[in-house]
Each structure stands twice: as structure tokens, then as C-alpha cells.
Amino acid sequence: MDKVFTGGGQQNEIIYIRDLYKSFGDNHVLNGVNLDVFNKENVVVLGRSGTGKSVLIKIISGLLKPDRGEVKVLGEDVTALSGKRLDQLRLQIGFSFQSSALYDSMTVKENLAFPLVRHKKNLGRKEINRSVEQVLDAVGLLQTINQMPSELSGGQRKRIGIARTLILQPKIMLYDEPTSGLDPITCIEINNLINLVKDKFNTTSIIITHDLTCAKMTGDRVAMLFDGKFIKQGTFEEVFASEDERIKDFYNYNFVKESEKI
């Protein structure tokens, strides 16, 4: 049974999802997803590749339309929005891509300034430069301001990608496999940064991952996605105390893979 977390009027629901379905032809990816994400909460969505994790956050950000179901973000019905209103909502949603999505032809400074130049046309050059320096300092990479992406390590590119997302001061952060392809030490640094972002910028976040160390370090709550539904939600310890063989197999397989990296 898919456990539903409700605020009961006690907490502020930033993201509210009920009975969400999405298919691609005969591939039924989401099969009745329910989820609440509350103010300043990090929720980790765990699951194997192909279970619909990335589809879920694309629907939340309005990049995909669900087949049916209710999706409210910051009180707005995402499925009913289009055009300018959807664009305005997306400015409050930061999307940290797995690839970092930096422009190779731009310096770090130009990459970070680009969203401000595009979306905050009232800002002057001094204000833009100040904002760039502030977010770079927040992610610990002020010294890279004039470097090109090709000069950065994978972990640095990930941090710069997060900084570029933060520069528009989003209320929500969506992280897509934030530690994918990184060495164990850099993974820990990114996990710490995700927690720092929540505390420093007061963000509410969904973190898509199959990395159990990431889930344990960053998740206030973990939601396990199997066959298009959440089969267990709770703290990391609560989820993996389950006797459900699907969850036990996921845990054992992933920690074997983690130990092979070290």
C-alpha cells in the first residue's frame, strides 16, 4: 500500500501529488503515485533505473504532462498551466541536471550570469556580478570564476551547475542523480552541499538517486519507487527495516556496488 503523508494543516505542502499516472505507449511508468513534500524538506526518491524517477520530476516541473492525476506545486495546478504562467512557476524551481548542463563556450562567470541576464532584465552589471560571486562562494568555488568548464573536475562542474540553479533563488530544488559518475569523496562533498543549500537558501528539494549513501546523508524522508508506485516512505532507517524482498534486494545490491568502488 502506498503510504500517503499529509500535512493535516500542520505543515506547508510545497508539492502535492495524487493518483499520478504516466505511460509511454505500452510502458506504464507511473501507476498511481502519491506524494507530499513539505516546506524545507529534502525528499529522496529511490529506485532502479527505468522506474520513473526522472519522469516524476519532469512532470513536477511541467516538462511532461501526466496522463491523469493531480500535481500542485507552490499551490499551482501544474497540469493546468501553460505559457507565461508555467514559465513563471519554473523560475521558482531549480533543476540540477545529471550532466550539470554548462555551456562549454562560456566561462564559469558567464554561465552563472546567463540566467540573470535572461530572466532578470532589471539587474545591472554590478548586481549580476555580485550575485555570481555570492553563489560561487556558497558552493566553495569562487576561485573558478574565470575558468572554462573544460578546466573543471566532474565534482566542480556539478557544484557550478548547482550554483547556476541557485542564482535565481528558487524555492524548490530538483536534483537528478547528483552523485552519478563521481568518486566516493566527491560524492560526500556533493551530499554535504545539498544539505548546505537547504539550510542556507531555505529550499525544498526532491533528490532522484539510486545512491544509498546519498539517500542516507541528504534525505529527511526517503520514498522507494517500484513498478510505478511508492511502496514505502519514511526515514532511511524505516524504509530499509522493511521485510519487503524488493527493498532488501535493492539495499543489498547497492551496498555491494558501493563497496566495490572503494
Q: In what helix (H) or strand (E) does residue 164 lie, and over which residues does it extend?
A: helix 154-166
The mean pLDDT of the chain is 89
Is 213 within a domain? Answer: yes
10 pLDDT more than 80 = no
Specify the CATH number for the domain of residue 25. Answer: 3.40.50.300
What integer pLDDT is reported at residue 50 of this predicted model? 78
98 pLDDT more than 80 = no
For 109-131, the pLDDT digits (tens) are 999 999 999 998 888 999 999 99
96 pLDDT more than 90 = no
Grid cell at residue 136: 560561487
For 216-234, the pLDDT digits (tens) are 999 999 999 998 999 999 9
- Tell me the C-alpha to C-alpha distance, in Å, between residue 171 and each of 14, 138, 141, 167: 9, 17, 22, 11
Is 101 within a domain? Answer: no
Is 120 within a domain? Answer: no
Which residues share a beta bridge with 110? none
Q: Provide the residue range defining the domain that includes 43.
A: 1-74+177-185+209-262
The CA distance from 88 to 11, in Å, is 24
**Residue pair 209/30 in contact by the 8 Å Cβ criterion:** no
The CA distance from 160 to 144, in Å, is 9
**Residue pair 46/250 in contact by the 8 Å Cβ criterion:** yes
What integer pLDDT is reported at residue 255 of this predicted model? 61
Question: Order of strands, edge to edge, in the sheet holding 229-234?
Answer: 93-96, 172-176, 204-209, 42-46, 221-226, 229-234
> How far is CA 193 from its chain centroid?
13
Say which residue, 95 or 49, is predicted with more confidence.
95
Is 42 within a domain? Answer: yes
For 129-144, the pLDDT digits (tens) are 999 999 999 999 999 9
Is 151 within a domain? Answer: no
Is 147 within a domain? Answer: no
Phi, psi of 85, deg, nearest 5: -65, -40
For 149-183, the pLDDT digits (tens) are 999 998 999 999 999 999 999 999 999 999 988 99
**Residue pair 36/214 in contact by the 8 Å Cβ criterion:** no
Is 164 within a domain? Answer: no
Tally of domains in the chain:
1
For 48-75, the pLDDT digits (tens) are 887 889 899 999 999 999 999 999 999 9
The CA distance from 181 to 37, in Å, is 27
**Residue pair 34/230 in contact by the 8 Å Cβ criterion:** yes
Burial of 69 by CB count in 10 Å (0-12 exposed, 13-18 middle, 19+ buried)?
middle
Helix, strand, coil percentages (3-state) for the chain, rounded to 5, are 40, 25, 35
Mean predicted confidence (pLDDT) in 185-207: 95
